[in-house]
A = this chain, B = another copy of it.
Amino acid sequence: MDLHDLTRTLNIKNDARIVLVVADGLGGLAPEPGGKTELETAATPNLDALAGRGVCGLLDPVLRGITPGSGPGHLGLFGYDPLEYVIGRGALEAAGVDFELGPDDVAIRGNFCTVDDAGNITDRRAGRIPTEKSTKTVEKLRRISVPGVELFVEPVREHRFVAVFRGEGLEDAVDDTDPQQTGVPPMDPVARDAASHRTAEAARAFITQARRILANDRPANMLTLRGFAKRPPLPSMQEVYGLNPAAIAVYPMYRGLARLVGMNVPPAPGNLAEEVDTLKEHWGAFDFFFLHFKYTDSTGEDGNFDAKVKRVEELDAEIPRIVALKPDVLIVTGDHSTPALLRSHSWHPVPVLLTSATCRIDAATRFGESQCVCGGLGRFEAKYLLPLALAHAGRLQKFGA
């Protein structure tokens, strides 16, 4: 019996509402020994008040020492084991441009590249051509036609695009065509199993036509295909948790991830205050809300400690409006740490706080990494957070007699 077997059997419906606020990359590091992290440096009276009347802890997004990408980081928070459900790169890229993958779709990440007259790659990223230019190049690719396959091509950013092949009998065990080096031609898309043969054939036809269409373009006169992936067979949050969930997120990637687990995704708002407006607006329609705040991560990736501190304060300022909605369970956490010191995602555990009428209040009075170490929630893998939220919402029955 695994976690989902339990929650499938035990979940019940009621009127309780759960809000999961995810400040992307929330966890941090002090810039010098004995110093404070970004979260600890920020003035966060509202989060601290929640910590005071709630319970705190630390989450490992995947396992100790493992640095998650956004996919595994969010899957864990949504209550899915990120080691059981692996989202292929193509599928994640499709999610990232708000493309809703169907069950017969194979999504592929494409890169424009530059080849010389002999067909050897001279630049794997076509000089990172500007997005406006690659958008036009993508439009040209829409002329391509492959018999028996419905084709979608969408621009992503700079030299990156997504291709989706839709059709029966398409599987995704196909090798990348990117040789990961220059001076050689792109490789052939080779199927690793018989079931993926048709996909490889379609990819070959796509590449052949693309080569002709792009021949006179510079620098994007060729392309490579990577990360062939179908939509992962994720059961919905409705089915495993009995929730009617909604995602409030600005960035397409997170909206796409939410859609993969069955969340409803209202139109994208613009900034955090507008996200809270959207939350308020849909308050009556759903019982679970994932609210995503991106900028704690992007400032961390920029290595800008002070900017991340400010973004935490921006989040803190919106907390009262969320609290005013009187969620039965309110959780604030991150999908991983992004210490400004490291300018990247990291493996460090992520602070989490939970308030509800049934929480066993701990000694924490300040929401930050140090106090979370000794918080009442302890330290645990992120995939257990959602069942815990359900419990505090009175939505999980007793297991066994």
Residues of A in contact with B (beta carbons under 8 Å apart): 1-3, 6, 10, 29-30, 33-34, 37, 53, 58, 62-73, 82-84, 86-87, 89, 92-93, 339, 341-342, 344-349, 358, 360-363, 369-370, 373-376, 378-380, 384, 387-392, 396-401
Contact = CB atoms under 8 A, between A and B. Distances in A.
Contacts of A82: 399-400
18 contacts: A1-B84, A6-B66, A6-B83, A29-B358, A29-B360, A65-B387, A65-B388, A66-B399, A67-B397, A68-B398, A68-B399, A68-B400, A70-B401, A72-B399, A339-B358, A360-B369, A363-B373, A378-B378
Contact of A63 (B62, B72, B84, B387): B387
B347 A391 contact: yes
A64 B347 contact: no
A66 B346 contact: no
B68 A384 contact: no
Given A34-B361, A69-B401, A388-B64, A347 B1 contact: no
A331 B44 CA distance: 35
A115 to B, nearest CB: 26
B400 A69 contact: yes
The copy count of this chain in the complex is: 2
A373 B378 contact: yes
Contacts of A342: 358
Given A1-B86, A29-B358, A68-B399, 9 more contacts: A1-B83, A33-B361, A63-B384, A66-B396, A68-B400, A87-B400, A92-B401, A363-B373, A373-B376
Contacts of A375: 373
A30 B360 contact: yes
A189 to B, nearest CB: 20
B384 A67 contact: no
Contact of A391 (B65, B69, B362): B65
9 smallest beta-carbon distances between A and B, as pairs:
A65-B387, A69-B400, A65-B388, A65-B391, A378-B379, A72-B400, A64-B384, A71-B400, A1-B83
Contacts of A373: 362-363, 374-376, 378
Contacts of A89: 401
Nearest to A83: B1
Contacts of A362: 370, 373
A65 to B, nearest CB: 4
Contacts of A53: 33
A22 B392 CA distance: 25
A361 B30 contact: yes
A336 to B, nearest CB: 9
A63 B378 contact: no
B399 A69 contact: yes
Contacts of A374: 373-374
Nearest to A379: B378
A237 B248 CA distance: 44
A384 B65 contact: yes
A338 to B, nearest CB: 11
Contacts of A68: 398-400
Given A66-B396, A378-B378, A396-B66, A358 B346 contact: yes
Contacts of A349: 378
Nearest to A67: B398
A370 B380 contact: no
Contact of A67 (B3, B62, B396): B396
A335 B288 CA distance: 31
A399 B70 contact: no
A2 B83 CA distance: 7
